């Protein structure tokens, strides 16, 4: 059953067509990779999905709801969560508080004023800290974590919102090979929880992780389907693999 359905989405910036009539589907509990050379429109696609940009035309449905023109916060409430390409944790807050702020996102004003869920959310905060190997650093400022740990923290924050679809924009960018391997291990269990859409440059990583791939080039879809099929697609080899 499809969770995300993108139909004929285009994004035009004055004279530049960043996306041209893109169709894409992500099924439930599927790991889907979005790849393409620089300037292919991957980031624009992700921005249109997350609400940082509004598509010029076309529709985006998440779990049957039309989210094409929703604000980022409404999309978040509808079950979409995003990890940015450039790490966007809260550097002057403790690692613990970064997770708390994500976990309490859907509380009421009054509940937040009374700090009513502080104790109740403690166990969940600890659960995510342990799951993403950050427990030891929970009281450190998030800005003092290593780059890889900051990426994990952001993935943990995005996942703690219990999304239906998690968007990860280059989750292994700037990571060491060990951190990359560890990230793969940390992401695998997510499959039981939600679907995943990953934009990534590291092809080995994405091939091992994803069930299906969509390849973009110059704002258009070159190929889309199961990972093995897309990998062997001649056009993909021509336009993408040769450029990487």
Partner 1 sequence: MPEVRRTTITVLTVIELALLSAALVMPVFLDSFWVLFLTKIFILALLALSFDLVWGYAGIMSFGQALFFGVAGYATALLSQKVGVSSVFILLPLAAAVGLALAFLMALLVILGKRIPSLAFVALGTMTGSYVVERLARGWSYVGGQNGISSLPRLTAGTLEIEEGLLFCYMALAILVVIYAACRWLVRSQFGLVLAGIRQQESRIAFLGYDVQTFKAVIFSFAGMIAGISGALFAFHEGFVGPGQLGPVLSTQAVLYVLFGGVGTLIGAVIGVTVLDMLNYLLPQMTFLGPTVKNFVETGWPILLGLLLLATVLFRPSGLMGFVMRDRSRNFLFGKKAESDDTQSGEGKA
Work out whether strand 220-226 and strand 212-217 pair parallel, antiparallel, or are unpaired: antiparallel
Nearer of residues 93 and 241 to partner 1, judged by Cβ: 93
Nearer of residues 161 and 221 to partner 1, judged by Cβ: 161
Nearer of residues 74 and 229 to partner 1, judged by Cβ: 74
Nearer of residues 132 and 240 to partner 1, judged by Cβ: 132
Q: Which residues contact 161 (CB under 8 A, 6 or more apart)?
A: 76, 81, 102, 103, 105, 106
C-alpha span between 142 and 239 (Å, rounded): 39
According to the binding rule CB under 8 A, does residue 221 interact with partner 1? Answer: no
Q: Tell the smallest beta-carbon distance from residue 206 to partner 1 (Å).
A: 23
Q: Which of 88, 176, 208, 243 binds partner 1 (CB under 8 A)?
A: 88
Q: Give the total of residues touching partner 1 (CB under 8 A).
A: 48
C-alpha span between 237 and 78 (Å, rounded): 36
Q: Which of 104, 149, 150, 172 binds partner 1 (CB under 8 A)?
A: 104
According to the binding rule CB under 8 A, does residue 176 interact with partner 1? Answer: no
Cα 45 to Cα 25, 115, 116, 179, distances in angstroms: 13, 37, 38, 27
Q: Which of 10, 53, 127, 141 binds partner 1 (CB under 8 A)?
A: 141
Nearer of residues 43 and 224 to partner 1, judged by Cβ: 43
Convert 187-225 to b/e letters by CB count within 10 Å (16 or more is b).
beebeeebbbbbbbebeebbbebbbbbbbbbebbbbbbe
According to the binding rule CB under 8 A, does residue 157 interact with partner 1? Answer: yes
Strand order in the sheet with 212-217: 80-83, 165-169, 195-199, 31-35, 212-217, 220-226
Residues that bind partner 1 (CB under 8 A): 50-52, 71-73, 76-77, 81-82, 84, 88-94, 96-97, 100-102, 104-107, 109, 111-119, 121-122, 125-126, 137, 139-141, 144, 157, 161
């Amino acid at each position: 059953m499809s969770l995300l359905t993108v139909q004929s989405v285009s994004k035009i910036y004055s004279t530049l067509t960043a996306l041209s009539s893109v169709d894409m589907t992500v099924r439930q509990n599927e790991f889907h990779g979005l790849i393409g050379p620089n300037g292919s429109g991957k980031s624009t696609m992700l921005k249109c999905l997350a609400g940082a940009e509004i598509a010029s035309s076309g529709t985006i449905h998440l779990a049957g709801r039309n989210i094409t023109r929703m604000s980022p916060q409404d999309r978040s409430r509808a079950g979409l969560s995003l990890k940015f390409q450039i790490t966007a944790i809260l550097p002057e807050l403790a690692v613990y508080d970064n997770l708390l702020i994500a976990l309490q996102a859907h509380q009421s004003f009054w509940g937040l004023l009374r700090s009513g869920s502080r104790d109740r959310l403690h166990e969940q905060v600890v659960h995510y800290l342990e799951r993403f190997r950050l427990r030891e650093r929970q009281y450190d400022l998030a800005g003092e974590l290593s780059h890889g740990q900051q990426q994990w923290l952001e993935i943990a924050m995005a996942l703690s919102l219990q999304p239906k679809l998690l968007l990860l924009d280059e989750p292994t960018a700037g990571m060491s090979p060990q951190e990359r391997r560890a990230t793969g291990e940390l992401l695998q269990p997510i499959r039981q929880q939600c679907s995943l859409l990953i934009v990534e440059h590291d092809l080995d990583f994405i091939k091992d992780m994803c069930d299906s791939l969509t390849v973009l080039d110059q704002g258009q879809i070159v190929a889309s389907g199961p990972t093995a099929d897309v990998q062997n697609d001649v056009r993909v080899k021509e336009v993408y693999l040769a450029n990487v």
